[in-house]
Every structure is written in C-alpha cells, then in structure tokens.
Amino acid sequence: MIKFKNNYLKFIIMAETKANENKTILDGLARNPITVGILIGILAAFVQGLLISAGGPEAYGFCVACHTRDVVNDAVNSIAGTKLAIAPISLNAILPVLTVIGVLIGAFISAKVYKEFKTKTGSAISYIWYLLGGVFFMVFALFMGGCPYRVALRVGYGDVIAFIGLLAIIAGVLAGIKIATAMAEREG
C-alpha cells in the first residue's frame, strides 16, 4: 500500500512542480485545471448554441465516449454498410463530431511544442488489460449515457439521472482504490 501511494505521490509532486514553473500568464492559465474546467464548460454550452440546429441531443458539447462512438460507428457504417446507431447531430452533418480526433491532434501538438512527447511501452499482459479495460469502459459509459465529461455537462444542464451516475462514479473510484491498494499490498 505504501509503495502504491508513494508512486502516486511522486506523480502528483511532479505535476505540482510543473504547475509552479509558469513561463507565461497564458500557459499558467492552461496549466490550472480550474480555468481549464470553466473554459471547457462554457465552450461546450457555446458549441451547443452554435450547432443544435443540426440535431440533438442536448448537453452534447463534449463527450469522449459518445463522440468516439459516433466517429467509429459512422466509419463502420460507411465501410461495411451497416446501420449502427449514432447521435442525430452526427447523422445529419456531413461528417460526425470530430472532437476526439481534435483532442488527439491538440495534445500531440502541445506535447511536441513543450517537448513532453516520450514513447512509453508496457508488458504484453498490461496491453491485454488495457484493451479489455477500454472495451468495458466504453460499454458501461454508454449504458450510463456518457463518459465522466458528458455526465458533468448533464449535471450542469440539470439532469438528475446524471447526478446519480456521478455519485456512482465516486463509489466506483472508492472501490477501485480499495482493490488497487489490496493488490499492491499482496505484491509487497
């Protein structure tokens, strides 16, 4: 347990020192999760105002799970001629919502600009766990109606079911911490 906690502490201290060596005011704001959160929230509302005529659902400005589903299902539909369900906004538009592709590009540019790009590999076993984790994460997130980000937007939009989902996420995190510390203890 101590080893497991120490690993995370090291990671947090690293992030803290990174946050403190501000070079410019703008980069300082970009490194502050609070300004980032407020900005993403307001812009998600702005994007809905801009694009809602193309189709629903509401509170759909940013969601990693749903937007990935739209892109993947749209691609599979075009290639294999299937009719997998996608959100109306992606169905009506000339191309589906590309937020996820944008995130990959934006983070890659930023990592390159600030010289933080570094290839990290893992063991074959860990790849299997991450692959299964990705599959199950997506399935359960879609049952809930969105990843933690869309849940946040829906809570802001006044959706009680999403608030229940948020409480369930917290319960899941607590359970996950218990399991992770138990596993780390057994390994010593």
Partner 1 sequence: MAAAGWLSKEVAVIAVPIVTILFGILIGWLGQRSGFCSIGGFRDFFMFRHTRLLFGYLALIGGAFIGYFVFWLITPLAFEHFFWYMTSGLTPVPGAPAGLLVTGYIILAIIGGIAVGLIGVLLGGCPLRQLVMTSEGNVKALIFVVGMCIGAVVFTAWLSGWVVALLKGLGIA
- Residue ranges in 26-65 that form contacts with partner 1 under rule CB under 8 A: 27, 30-65
Nearer to partner 1, 134 or 188 (CB): 134
Minimum distance of partner 1 from residue 187's CB (angstroms): 14
According to CB under 8 A, which residues from 110 to 149 bind partner 1?
110-111, 114, 116-122, 126-127, 129-149
Instruction: Confirm if 150 and 59 have CB atoms less than 8 A apart.
Output: yes
**DSSP string across 135-169:** HHHHHHHHHHTS-HHHHHHHHHHT-HHHHHHHHHH
Distance, CA of 29 to CA of 27 (rounded, Å): 5
> Residue 131: what residue type?
L
According to CB under 8 A, which residues from 67 to 106 bind partner 1?
67-69, 72-73, 76, 82, 84-85, 87, 89-90, 92-106
Please give the size of the binding site for partner 1, defined by CB under 8 A: 137
Distance, CA of 62 to CA of 41 (rounded, Å): 9
> Residue 95: what residue type?
L
Nearer to partner 1, 3 or 43 (CB): 43
Q: Is 108 in the site for partner 1 (CB under 8 A)?
A: yes
> 67: which 2 tokens?
């937007």
Distance, CA of 70 to CA of 89 (rounded, Å): 9
Q: Is 182 in the site for partner 1 (CB under 8 A)?
A: no
Q: Is 184 in the site for partner 1 (CB under 8 A)?
A: no
Q: Which of 3, 6, 10, 19 binds partner 1 (CB under 8 A)?
A: 19
